[in-house]
Amino acid sequence: MKYSYLGKTGMKVPVLSFGASSLGGVLHSVREAEAIRAAFTAIEHGMNFIDVSPYYGHTKAETVLGKALTELQRESFLLSTKVGRYGAGGVNTWDYSAGRTRESVFESMERLHVDYIDLINVHDIEFADLSQVVDETLPALVELREKGLVGHVGITDLQLENLKWVIDHVPEGTVESVLNFCHYTLNDDKLVDFLDYFEEKGVGVINASPFAMGLLSQRGVPEWHPAPAALVEACRKASDYCLSQGYPIEKLAIQYSVSNPRIGTTLFSSANPDNVLKNIQYIEEPIDWDLVAKVKEIIGDQQRVTWKNT
CA-to-CA distance for 27 and 146, rounded, in angstroms? 36
Where b means 16+ CB within 10 Å and e means fewer, 231-260 reads: beebbbebbebbeeeebbbbbbbbbbbbeb
Which residues lie across from 78 on neighbouring strands?
49
CA-to-CA distance for 98 and 102, rounded, in angstroms? 6
CA-to-CA distance for 60 and 307, rounded, in angstroms? 27
Length of the chain: 310
Half-sphere exposure (Cβ direction) of 79: Cα atoms closer than 13 Å: 26
Amino acid letter, residue 242: C
From the DSSP assignment, how many helices (H) and strands (E) are in the chain?
11, 12
3-class DSSP state of 266? strand
Contact criterion met (CB below 8 Å) for 281 and 254: no
Q: Which residue, among 243, 240, 57, has the nearest Cα to 66 in the 3D structure?
A: 57
CA-to-CA distance for 155 and 138, rounded, in angstroms? 9
Distances (CA, A) of 30 to 22, 23, 27, 266, 272: 8, 7, 9, 23, 9
Annotated catalytic residue, options 56, 86, 96, 256: 56
Active site residue 197: no
CA-to-CA distance for 224 and 215, rounded, in angstroms? 12
Active-site positions read: 56
